[in-house]
């Protein structure tokens, strides 16, 4: 067969040495719980919250156990009631509709366009037809829709926007960071995201009342004053009695690992985008491969790459996956009939009412997806693109 890639698509870069030292110090202290602190001690989690708040440019930040918990807490903090409709992307990952279902909401799925972004015309129609008061906007695989247009639509209809920024930590639209458009934003620090603590996440907001409600929901007890980027005590006057404790606190060990990574994040965004461009340049040479257009208004974070092969049948798409794997390249395909690994499509979310999404289904039928870990070199990325093209030629010359 000739050339083959021998790297791992699940191998991340090592945790920085300074982060390992900080983690060891936490372990040696024995005090991993975020509130197990001396009287004059800020603690790793509170310091991380303040540092992430400043980096994000938000007023408040809350560190939690996962991006999925951040989504659930944000929905509850914003006032979701059981049975309320929540609009979200027809193309996203299972934790997004899962969060809606977990807090008693009813997911209403919105079509996407050929560049994988929310179809704003369908969004506007479904706001009107569903009466939804919430949009949980998934910036799926790092692709930002026209955020100015989306906010005009939602503000005009008095719809609350919560941003799922699990794939867009560091991305911008017209210079504004992803997460600084809606009422609340949710981020993930799961291993395959832009910072790695195994599991973890953040909530950010500029609204003091929402920040207070989220903090109590996260499990602060009456220790909310120990947070590093929370609102003043007055904001908790009602929230401390009304919000249930969901025990979703980030621990000191994960915070210690994340703080040094945050200092490297902007540089890593550049490194991801260098790798993205290397793969994109190779794929764009193939006549049957369609890459995803990136708007001039968007600063992307290319930690994964997507492409379509619109002319292929389901059998041919499956054959491309197999041919690429034989060359050492791991592709995900969103047109498969059954969920595989982290990859699933809306027909397999049986906790969500079945919905007709013909445009989304047509796009997903020939959509491929691939991780771009920073452990790859740019030369690796160029080789991977060539191997994908070879696989495509084998299946559909």
C-alpha pair distances (Å), 56 with each of 179, 217, 262: 8, 22, 11
pLDDT band at 396 (very low <50, low <70, confident <90, very high): confident
Q: How many CA atoms lie within 13 A of 80 on its CB side?
A: 30
**For position 323, what pLDDT does the model report?**
97
**For position 67, what pLDDT does the model report?**
98
The yes-or-no verdict on residue 112 having pLDDT over 90 is yes
pLDDT above 90 covers a percentage of the chain that reads 95
C-alpha span between 68 and 156 (Å, rounded): 28
Q: What are the residues whose beta carbons fall under 8 Å from the beta carbon of 226, sequence distance 6 or more?
A: 34, 35, 37, 43, 46, 220
Tokens of 29: 């202290």
pTM, two decimals, is 0.97
The yes-or-no verdict on residue 22 having pLDDT over 70 is yes
Give the residues across from 112 on adjacent strands. Answer: 118
Handedness of CA 72, 73, 78, 82 (dihedral sign): positive
C-alpha span between 302 and 36 (Å, rounded): 38
pLDDT digits (tens, 9 = 90+) for 313-365: 999 999 999 999 999 999 999 999 888 888 899 999 999 999 999 999 999 99
Poorest-confidence range of 6-10, 267-271, 342-346, 350-354? Answer: 342-346
The residue among 102, 188, 100, 182 whose CA lies nearest residue 140 is 188
176 sits in which H/E element: strand 176-177
**For position 397, what pLDDT does the model report?**
80
The yes-or-no verdict on residue 1 having pLDDT over 90 is no
Domains of the chain by start residue, with CATH: 17-259 (3.40.640.10), 265-395 (3.90.1150.10)
C-alpha span between 139 and 92 (Å, rounded): 8
Per DSSP (E only), the strands in the chain are 60-64, 85-89, 106-110, 134-138, 160-164, 172-173, 176-177, 184-188, 201-205, 290-291, 298-299, 304-308, 332-333, 367-371
């Amino acid at each position: 067969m000739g050339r083959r890639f021998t790297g791992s698509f699940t191998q991340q870069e090592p945790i920085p040495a300074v982060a390992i030292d900080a983690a060891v110090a936490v372990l040696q202290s024995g005090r991993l719980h975020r509130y197990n602190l001396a009287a004059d001690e800020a603690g790793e989690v509170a310091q991380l919250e303040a540092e992430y708040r400043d980096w994000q440019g938000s007023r408040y930040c809350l560190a939690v156990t996962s991006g999925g918990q951040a989504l659930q807490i944000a929905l509850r903090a914003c006032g979701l009631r059981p049975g309320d409709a929540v609009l979200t992307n027809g193309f996203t990952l299972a934790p997004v509709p899962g969060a809606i279902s977990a807090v008693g909401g009813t997911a209403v799925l919105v079509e996407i366009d050929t560049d994988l972004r929310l179809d704003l015309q369908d969004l506007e129609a479904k706001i009107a037809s569903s009466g939804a008061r919430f949009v949980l906007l998934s910036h799926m695989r790092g692709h930002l829709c026209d955020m100015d247009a989306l906010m005009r639509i939602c503000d005009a209809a008095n719809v609350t926007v919560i941003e799922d920024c699990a794939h867009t930590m560091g991305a911008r639209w017209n210079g504004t960071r992803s997460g600084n458009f809606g009422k609340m934003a949710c981020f993930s620090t799961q291993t395959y995201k832009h910072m790695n603590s195994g599991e973890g996440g953040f909530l950010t907001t500029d609204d003091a009342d929402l920040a207070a409600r989220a903090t109590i929901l996260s499990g602060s007890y009456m220790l909310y004053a120990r947070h590093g980027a929370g609102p003043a005590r007055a904001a908790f006057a009602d929230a401390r009695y009304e919000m249930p404790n969901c025990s979703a606190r980030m621990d000191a060990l994960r915070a210690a690992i994340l703080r040094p990574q945050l200092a490297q994040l902007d540089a890593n965004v550049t490194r991801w985008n260098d790798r993205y461009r290397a793969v994109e340049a190779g794929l764009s040479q193939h006549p049957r491969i369609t890459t995803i257009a990136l708007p001039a208004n968007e600063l992307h974070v290319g930690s994964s790459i997507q492409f379509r092969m619109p002319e292929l049948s389901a059998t041919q798409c499956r054959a491309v996956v197999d041919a690429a794997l034989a060359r050492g390249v791991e592709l995900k395909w969103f047109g498969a009939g059954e969920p595989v690994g982290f990859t699933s499509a809306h027909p397999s979310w049986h906790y969500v009412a079945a919905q007709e999404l013909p445009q989304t289904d047509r796009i997903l039928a020939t959509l491929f997806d691939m991780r771009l870990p920073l452990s790859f070199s740019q030369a690796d990325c160029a080789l991977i693109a060539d191997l994908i093209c070879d696989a495509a030629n084998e299946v559909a010359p």
